[in-house]
A and B are shown apart, each in its own frame.
Chain A
Amino acid sequence: MISPRHTKLAIGGLRHLVLAIGAFVVLFPFIWMLSASFKPPSEIYTQDVQLIPIAWTLENYIRAFSAQPLGKYLLNGVIVTFGIFAFQVLFSLPCAFALAKLNFRGREVLFALIILGLLIPEYVISIPVFFMFFKVGLLNTFWSLIIPFWISAFGIFLMRQFFKTIPDDLLAAARLDGLSEIMIVWRIMAPLAVPAVMAFAIFSVVFHWNDFYWPLIMVNDAEIATPPLGIVLFSNAEAGNAVGPMMAAAVIITLPLVLLFLSMQRRFIEGLTIGSFK
């Protein structure tokens, strides 16, 4: 006879089975990428499909770094994401603080404009901004990848919402202690805002590390390509004849964010989904 306990166990087992099948589908591209990156060409260009390499090799990784400036792509990715994020915070924090805690004429109008700015995806501004950078001779430079994102309506909005929750008493106390407003922003408010800034950091870094559209229109020089553009340039140059090295490059490019995600999952999930609630 089937007891309720057995049914429960069976359902529990079924749950894991269904989830495991789904997980295999979700993980398969990652597994395949990793496995192929260690395979010699003879195991890649074959009809005989093996999940695990038979003759492991590091050749693909060596070629990934030697046949293209992969190291440079990674460095460029770091320069661009950091250059964007640092300035976003520099401009957003004081503005968000003023919007949340200071009285001035035009505050509501400015906040409405920020909300309007939230609605505009990067694709919309690409033609005029491309023209602007062409005019000032900055196309195909790091600046053309970094400066357009110095303003983040989302960053300002997020930090403003956060500052709203900080009690006014704290501000009053700091002012009584004779701190200037600038000191208050950077010495008192910024440290308090670390959770909000962290969530925003993850949002910003993940977005710009993975962004393909913007580098595609602004840059055609492999020397300043970020990882997504770099790997596509490489793929086009090799015209499908270097699957192994490409998989190795894909591993190298995907790895930093995946590792970061695995090491701080809660913050990552928060940072990436918080944008949906804006």
Chain B
Amino acid sequence: MSQVNEQTRDLAAGAAPRRQRSAQSVEAATAYLFVTPATLLLFLLLLGPAASVIALSFTDWQFGSKTFEFVGFANYAEMFQDDVFWTSITNTLIYVSVVVVGSVSLGLMIAMLIESRRSFRRVWRTIYFLPVTATLVAMALVFEYILHPAFGPLNEFLGLFGVEGTNWLQNRSTALLTLCGIGIWQAVGFNMVLFLAGLTAIPTDLYDAVAIDGSDSTWDRFRIVVWPLLGPTTMFVVIISCIRSFQVFDTVKVLTDGGPNRATEVLLFTMFSEGFTYFRSGYAAALTTIFLIFVLILTLVQRISIEKRIHYG
């Protein structure tokens, strides 16, 4: 390899400046050849559409109509006065909070339990990760059956303890929380894996040090070693979970269609209905823009937390 290096250096040194420049322009030409297809597609399919969504949000365009006019912030004004929008935002925030708190705390607990001893680590990890890979829409239909008020096993099971179940997905007060449950079920394994990565990075001597100090209980290990060192990871997992759960759509569309009586109306579902059921494209674009702003803010916080993670180690 070093010989090759010398050769290249000789070549470079021996080459006339003009040849060097032409070599450079050949390199640049090749580079443009390589990046042009991807760049064109990037503009055509990603950046262009994203920019036009923002532009569309200032128009009254309806899909199918040939003309449209710029209406300034009219769509946003309508949105902020619309109860459906605020219901949707509230439901989305409730969903995100419940799923994040549930899946992060359970994910951490399971990761710590798995990591605390050597036996069966892989088996447990595999089981808990399984829902992450499963097709959510198909599993949603399974949940629909499990939750069925007449012949689902859940209410049957609760009945054993004298608890009377309900029609979980059709009851205004339980529908959203039921979807949260499904969301947690799918997200726990994902968070567990992220925590496992964080936990293995903790040097084992630290546990020994705690043991020497005479505090060997799991709680002490957690309090003294794990939590301080896992803080940045936790921050990071929380934000990832926010971003992922913010995009809840599949279970809502398949199981409740936003109902009953808008109890499970979430942001993406509202956007979908306006854009692809009523074809009020300009208004849907305004909703999309709000969605995009949320995602951008969360991603910004994520970047900062990744930086922090790297600093802490």
Contact = CB atoms under 8 A, between A and B. Distances in A.
Nearest to A270: B193
A127 B128 contact: no
A102 B27 contact: yes
Contacts of A32: 142, 145-146, 153
29 contacts: A15-B113, A30-B134, A33-B142, A47-B151, A103-B27, A104-B28, A105-B28, A119-B296, A120-B292, A123-B268, A124-B291, A125-B49, A127-B53, A130-B63, A156-B38, A169-B1, A169-B4, A181-B34, A216-B253, A228-B138, A231-B138, A246-B141, A247-B142, A250-B141, A250-B142, A253-B138, A257-B133, A257-B134, A276-B194
Interface string B1-26: 10011011001000000000000100
B137 interface: yes
Contacts of B150: 45, 47
Interface string A18-34: 11001101111110110
A56 interface: no
B110 A172 contact: no
Interface residues on A, range: 35 or more
Contact of A269 (B27, B28, B120, B193): B193
Contacts of A117: 42, 46-47
Contacts of B4: 169, 172-173, 176
A257 to B, nearest CB: 5
A173 B253 CA distance: 55
Given A127-B275, A153-B42, A210-B136, A272 B56 contact: no
Nearest to A249: B138
A158 B285 CA distance: 30
Given A102-B31, A231-B137, A15 B142 contact: no
B299 A119 contact: yes
A150 interface: yes
Contact of B50 (A99, A120, A148, A169): A120
A268 interface: yes
A201 to B, nearest CB: 14
A18 to B, nearest CB: 6
B-side binding surface: helix, strand, loop or mixed? helix
Contacts of A97: 34
Contacts of A227: 135, 138
A46 B47 contact: no
Interface in B259-296: 268, 271-272, 275-276, 281, 284-285, 288, 291-292, 295-296
A95 B35 contact: yes
A125 B50 contact: yes
B38 A213 contact: no
Most buried by B among A113, A151, A169: A151
Given A23-B127, A185-B34, 11 more contacts: A19-B113, A32-B146, A33-B142, A47-B156, A91-B38, A95-B38, A124-B53, A131-B281, A172-B4, A269-B125, A276-B194
A-side binding surface: helix, strand, loop or mixed? helix
Contacts of A131: 63, 281
B224 interface: no
Given A127-B275, A254-B135, A95 B146 contact: no
Given A32-B142, A103-B24, A273-B190, A23 B45 contact: no
A26 B185 contact: yes
B67 interface: no
B143 A262 contact: no
B143 A18 contact: no
B254 interface: yes
A212 interface: yes
Interface string A166-210: 000100110010000110010000000000000000000010011
Contact of B8 (A176, A181, A182): A176
